[in-house]
Amino acid sequence: MPSSPSRLLALAIAALVTISAAAPADAAKKKSQRTPTAQSRSAKPKAKPRSAPRAPARRPAPLPVKQDKAAQLNRIYDEYWDASMRLNPLQATFQGDPRFNDQLPNFLSAAWRQQSHDFMVQWRGKVEAINPDGLQGQDLLSYQIFLRDAQNSLKAEQYPSWMLPINPYNNVSSLVAVLGSGAGAQPFRTVKDYENWSKRSLAVPALFDQAIANMREGMAAGVVQPRALMEKVLPQLDAVIRPSAEESIFWGPIRNLPDDFSAEDKARLTAEYKRMIEYRLMPAYRSLRGFIATEYLPAARTTDGMGALPDGQAWYAYNVASTTTPVRLPAEIHALGEQEVKDLQQRITALMKASKIRGSMQKTFKAMRSDRQFVFNDANALLARYAEVGQQVDAAVPALFNHRPKAALEIRPVEPGRALTSSAASYQPGSADGQQPGVLYVNTADLPSRKRWAVTMQYLHEGIPGHHFQLGAQQELTALPRFRRLGGDVAFVEGWSLYAESLGQELGLYSDPYEHLGYLQTTLLRTVRLVADTGLNTQGWSRAQTIDYMVKNADISASDAAAEVERFMALPGQSLAPRVGEVKIRLLRDKAKAELGERFDPREFHHEILKDGSMPLEILDSKIERWIASKKI
């Protein structure tokens, strides 16, 4: 599911804040202390004075144990969510909760990391104090997911991610710029909104100073970014730094002051924002830029992969386990990727031969990128093709699915104002009650890049049975705790959408060999990422070696491969989750089919995968194991 820049920054800061929650090593060694429950099982009621016999009072029938536990846990989850919003006001802002839009804690500080550690230990203890025996269905899943996420958060404390607060893809300075520009999650609709940002910006200089202090600690400890990455950060800072407020990205909210503001408020806010930008924000940006240019770059490392950092191999393995599953070690993913790359290349060669497409694989893919036969003449033709594919999918999908969301799916063009920053196709969920449809947005700008052979694959990914079926089903689970309903596991969500693409052949939708080749080549690139990311970060590959591997095996340009590799350097292990998730779903299907034989129904399997919403892969594995066992009875 392609993300807008604001969503990417939201995800980036969520990751940054999670990483920043790492407490000092001594704090990590503390034993967790469970909060005592209000009603201890060992407590006995005091004896009452004897009195004359009376008719026994009617008492309401006690709730079954599992219902009572579930109710207790749901109260804890609800309280936890509200407490987490108070602890992390930025997360609240990104969730659309406006209560703390004027607050910006120093989430890079040691004090905040300790506070976050204590917070997670406290809430983990509250949940663990309730024994899971008797929990079933969603109640059991919520229990397992909460504890898994809490444990992952606490495990992160082993690694000093707070020493690496800035890279080109996860950059606190870019986050602040987007929030303050009016193009991000920070709202600028009311006078109070404007005042909120002015107040929130008071904390920016201290946050930037903390980033500098943390990077200095990293320099002393040998935990620094590659120089090749940090050289890309300087132009990002230069794009924000301006000599006057009016030339700054932060002037956007003043330039777009709502018409219904009074003249007095407009004048006051204009003066206030000019002071804020010129005397608070710009000096903070200049200080950060100066530090990176003069102190940090000379100390940045010339190595590329995460394995070169102190304890880097274990650190990377943690990244992989937290975003995919602990069952898959980096070396196993590397080997899996290598085998899958060979298999996909063989499938591509066989398909070309069967379809009588002559020439090499590289020549064929080059023609698919440049031949005018694959280009749409106008925007209406592109939209019409998506609609045509939608009709084909609707006719074919009942063979593999017996449930679909209440919300319909509409196809709409991306608005002109978003076209430059939007992907080729993207999805927006509808409403839980089905009154508002889900929307598959099609970017009709830059028509030469919108290839005819890519439409079916993108429809399956973003629409049906991809994100619309998965996110649409989750949208309807209104009783889920908010930590599940408003979150999502990337390996599950994106893994499902890639799996949905793979169903195109089974549904008879890749009848055009170029559509099938387009799918296989895209899958090949995603699989090459498995090998390249793990190779760079655990196998000792250099940046140049990794670029060369991608160019040779994925048929992409050297510049595109360089951009991919820099992302592996900045966000080690992040690229693995979607493909690992897809492989897991496919393996679970193969296992269910092998064990159930004639009793296996792909429609029931797909419903079982989707019906409970997103979850970590290891929890999905256990759930499907229980489902397979139930089908054998």
- List, for residues 428-451, the tens digit of each pLDDT value: 999 989 999 999 999 999 999 999
Three-state DSSP at 539 gives coil
CA distance 500 to 464: 8
Judge contact between 611 and 518, C-beta under 8 A.
no
DSSP state of 479: T
CA distance 629 to 355: 42
CA distance 150 to 119: 10
Q: Which of 3-17, 51-65, 240-254, 266-280 has the lowest mean pLDDT?
A: 3-17
Sign of CA dihedral 622, 623, 628, 631: positive
- List, for residues 462-488, the tens digit of each pLDDT value: 999 999 999 998 989 999 999 999 888
Containing 606, the helix (H) or strand (E) segment is helix 602-610
Q: What is the pLDDT of residue 197?
A: 98
> Is 362 or 500 the better-scoring residue by pLDDT?
500
> Is 26 or 505 the better-scoring residue by pLDDT?
505
Q: What is the pLDDT of residue 67?
A: 56
Q: What is the pLDDT of residue 325?
A: 85
CA distance 158 to 319: 12
Task: List CB contacts of 276: < 8 A, sequence separation 6 or more.
Answer: 198, 201, 250
Distance of CA 368 to the CA centre of its chain: 31
Q: What is the pLDDT of residue 379?
A: 96
Q: What is the pLDDT of residue 416?
A: 87
CA distance 414 to 424: 9
Q: What is the mean pLDDT of residues 276-290?
A: 98
pLDDT band at 419 (very low <50, low <70, confident <90, very high): confident
Q: What is the pLDDT of residue 421?
A: 78
Q: What is the pLDDT of residue 486?
A: 87
Nearest to 304 by CA among 530, 537, 534, 529: 537
- List, for residues 551-600, the tens digit of each pLDDT value: 999 989 999 999 999 999 999 999 999 999 999 999 999 999 999 999 99
Q: What is the pLDDT of residue 356?
A: 95
Q: What is the mean pLDDT of residues 152-181?
A: 95
First to last CA, the chain: 38
CA distance 509 to 534: 33
> Residue 43 pLDDT more than 80?
no
Put the strands of the sheet holding 409-413 in their side by side order.
409-413, 438-442, 425-428
Return the percentage of the chain with pLDDT > 70, whole number: 89
DSSP state of 576: G
DSSP state of 40: -
Q: Which of 8-17, 54-63, 379-388, 465-474 has the lowest mean pLDDT?
A: 8-17
Residue 519 amino acid letter: Y
Q: What is the pTM of this model?
A: 0.87
Q: What is the pLDDT of residue 364?
A: 94
Q: Which of 20-29, 352-361, 399-408, 529-538 has the lowest mean pLDDT?
A: 20-29
Task: List CB contacts of 414: < 8 A, sequence separation 6 or more.
Answer: 422, 426, 441, 442, 443, 444, 445
CA distance 586 to 265: 59
CA distance 373 to 382: 13
Where in the chain are the domains? 1-35+64-159, 162-302, 321-577
Task: List CB contacts of 289: < 8 A, sequence separation 6 or more.
Answer: 234, 237, 238, 241
Q: What is the mean pLDDT of residues 264-269?
A: 98
> Residue 388 pLDDT more than 50?
yes
Distance of CA 607 to the CA centre of its chain: 23
Three-state DSSP at 112 gives helix
Residue 446 amino acid letter: D
Q: What is the pLDDT of residue 171?
A: 87
Judge contact between 464 and 392, C-beta under 8 A.
no
Half-sphere exposure of 142 (CA within 13 A, CB side): 25
> Residue 26 pLDDT more than 70?
no
Q: What is the mean pLDDT of residues 515-527?
A: 97
| Mean pLDDT across the chain | 89
CA distance 565 to 547: 7
Q: What is the pLDDT of residue 11?
A: 37
> Is 257 or 485 the better-scoring residue by pLDDT?
257
Containing 426, the helix (H) or strand (E) segment is strand 425-428
CA distance 69 to 144: 14
Judge contact between 2 and 493, C-beta under 8 A.
no
Phi-psi region of 573 (alpha: psi -120 to 50; beta: other; left: phi over 0): left
Task: List CB contacts of 369: < 8 A, sequence separation 6 or more.
Answer: 451
Which neighbouring-strand residues pair with 375?
A: 451
Kindly give the interhelix angle for 312-323 and 137-155, rounded to the nearest 10 degrees: 160
Tokens 């970014």 locate to 225
- List, for residues 491-520, the tens digit of each pLDDT value: 999 999 999 999 999 999 999 999 999 999
Q: What is the mean pLDDT of residues 47-51?
A: 34
Judge contact between 455 and 385, C-beta under 8 A.
yes
pLDDT band at 422 (very low <50, low <70, confident <90, very high): confident
> Residue 546 pLDDT more than 90?
yes
pLDDT band at 330 (very low <50, low <70, confident <90, very high): very high
10 Å Cβ neighbour count for 367? 14
Q: What is the mean pLDDT of residues 191-204?
A: 98
Q: What is the pLDDT of residue 58?
A: 44
